[in-house]
A and B are shown apart, each in its own frame.
Chain A
Amino acid sequence: MTIEETPAPAVDLARVQAEIAEEVRRRRATGDYPPGLERELDAMFARYAPASASDDFDDVLAFAETQSFIHADVPTASRRAPLAYVKRVLRTFMAWYVRFLAQQVTAFAGAITRAVSLLGRRVDALETATAVTPERALVRGDAGPDLAPWLQLVVGAVADAPGRVLHAEAGAGRLVQALADSGVDAYGIEPVEDTGLEAARAGLDIRTDDVLGHLRSVPDGVLGGVVLSGCIDRRPLGEVLALTDRAVAALAPGGLVVVLSAGPGAWARGLDPVVADLAPGRPLHPETWVHLLSVRGLAVDPVRAGPGRSGILEPVPDTTPGAAVLNANAERLERLLFGPGPYAVVAHRPR
């Protein structure tokens, strides 16, 4: 073999990769890659995957229970008839010994799976008592957070995102729809099955999945953007931190995280009392998000406050004498009592 001179590459591979990403985006937008294609293919293959490949505790335990019975009657089939006969004879002669061992191993495996099953029940009881079960963490208002005021901001922020944009949680897919309409290659994750399926039926690429579970399955450095809303307001703090870690890790260079939060005063000012009472987590202050994202190496834009006030204290009409002072005081009082209202934080991963 002769080593050739190394000519300057005629084709820039980085440019080829960018063009492939653009081709994917374009074909997704035109429906050549139908919305939900990947979700359907994943779901189809998952049906053939063993239960033990699942992360679901009950599935894995059920698999362990089925595996805990050890067969003593080994197969004796063989392509060569005499060998099958020899195997049958051996099995007959060894049956007393093999059965004795198999019974002990089965008893041992059964004891272990029962112990694990009991442990699982105790963990269930503990989680129920401390209200951190995934089911409870899923509690939210029917409509999810109102993202209408943020659509323009998000669409503008992710317009040049270097890859697909994920919205978690996507709800009925309004933001994903807005992003798709503006030419952004976006998809959503929605943990509530009915909501996710409804959005998928409407032709949106919305997958029903646990947000953190999905982000854990996304390789590092592949997403152009991650929009976090809803889940970050009511999940336990540890899970919010894990979500933040994964969202940042999944970003491609130049990608961005957008946090849309209800604001720390949301529960106190009576926004969605059912969620407020049952959720294991609370919306964070904007300063906390700035801290969380900047310590993870992102460059954070100034926090954007949501439109309007939180609306508990009514402003006086401008025609009222001293209206400016009264309203400024009311706003200050409101902020002190109920914290800042909804806000958005946009943070960029350096290229």
Chain B
Amino acid sequence: MVAVHQVLPVFAPRDAIGNHTVAVRRALQAMGLASEIIAGEVVAGAPGGARTTRHVHPGRLALAEPTVWLYHASTGSPVAEWWAELPGPKALDYHNISPPEVVGPWEPHVGVELEHGRRQLAGLAEVAGWALADSAYNEAELIGLGYRRTAVVPILLDTAHLADCAPDEALLGALMDRKAAEGGPDLLFVSRVLPHKGQHELVKALAAYRLAYGQPARLTLVGAVGSARYAGALTDFVDELGLGDAVTLTGSVDAAELAARFRAADVYVSASEHEGFGVPLLEAMAHGVPVVAYAAAAVPETVGDAAVLVADRSPAVLASAVHRVVGDEALRAQLAGAGRRRLAELGIGPSTHRLRDAVNRILADAGLTP
């Protein structure tokens, strides 16, 4: 049996790349291929069936069956070097690397890691026979780095069931009660709290919205803290603006709380300047929440015509875009419909089909057949 084993630096729960890796394994196995997940670190709570690099003897695996090694690149890691030394053909799946020049000033050690990741990615162009990318935006970066054979395979995401989880009813009730009591819209953004995700720009936009439209809007920022320093600055900034009651930083939340947050939201708003794909944008569509987003990186490609994109993330522009979306029923309905179509286009079926095509080409180049 031919194998396509996946290698990644960290395999963690509630992580888009982790979930993608599991979905890829399922798709590979459905193709009749053997597939294991091997990670530098397996975090407690991660979906089962993964091994760490310390417990794997690559030579033994490769001897057992002809193997293609698929590496998931999203940061600098010694695991990439481990993968590069493996025997047999290799492919890389690129999920983008955050911009070190934005993250580094806040978290110098992370910046160094990301810088290393970018250099490492460039160096791996000679190692990887093929490179997959979540988006054409990511693919363009790979081509710019000298990767010769590339294909776009979106994150494998069961978009049909993104909104299936039952919400935390108690929380949802409290959020809706507050909305009824105070009036004004609820703005939501979901991502790790990091400077390039632009949470501070959303706080500015909230301040501008409340000032210009005189409505008590609220902003919820869901996501684990990726930079403690940035999160601290964000909290201080919110306090100085007197928006402590209007801005909620939830940290990492479970699926039920996330569903409640989406159900209570009137608009999903993103000021992120760097997205290699943007899974939460699709989650918002799945919940029928209209999207306003800064048109940066892969965001326009991911949302298609299912969002109001703004070319400028200045507070006034974001605030007025939010106001328009909140108050325009026809626009909301159109975005909801376009969102459903976009989810279908990026659903697990079409994306798996693209993965199978890419894997077949990788195997053919390696002289292997499933």
Contacts and interface: CB of A to CB of B under 8 A. Distances in A.
Contact of A27 (B212, B338, B343): B212
Given A16-B308, A17-B308, A4 B340 contact: yes
Interface stretch (A42-50, A321-329, A337-345): A42-50
Interface in B213-250: 213, 229, 232-234, 236-237, 240-241
Nearest to A50: B105
A32 interface: yes
B333 to A, nearest CB: 8
A37 B315 contact: yes
User: B-side binding surface: helix, strand, loop or mixed?
Assistant: helix
A52 B105 contact: yes
Contacts of B173: none
A53 interface: yes
Contacts, number: 112
A19 B208 CA distance: 18
A52 B311 contact: no
A13 B341 contact: no
A117 to B, nearest CB: 18
A23 B323 contact: yes
Contacts of B337: 4, 7
Given A1-B343, A4-B341, A33-B316, 6 more contacts: A1-B159, A33-B319, A48-B233, A49-B106, A164-B312, A219-B311
For the complex of A and B, list the 3 residue pairs with the smallest distance between their C-beta atoms, beginning with the closest: A48-B233, A53-B105, A52-B105
Contact of B321 (A20, A38, A42, A219): A20
Nearest to B323: A23
A212 interface: no
A347 B319 CA distance: 31
Given A16-B324, A23-B324, A41 B159 contact: no
A138 interface: no
A299 interface: no
Say which size band chain B's interface belongs to: 35 or more
Contacts of B319: 33
Interface residues of A, number: 40
A6 interface: yes
A234 interface: no
B305 A20 contact: no
A291 B253 CA distance: 57
Nearest to A33: B316
Interface string B87-121: 00000000000000000111010000000000000
A249 interface: no
A23 B308 CA distance: 15
Interface in B190-224: 195, 200, 203-204, 207-208, 211-213
A3 interface: yes
B241 A38 contact: no
B360 interface: no
A33 B208 contact: yes
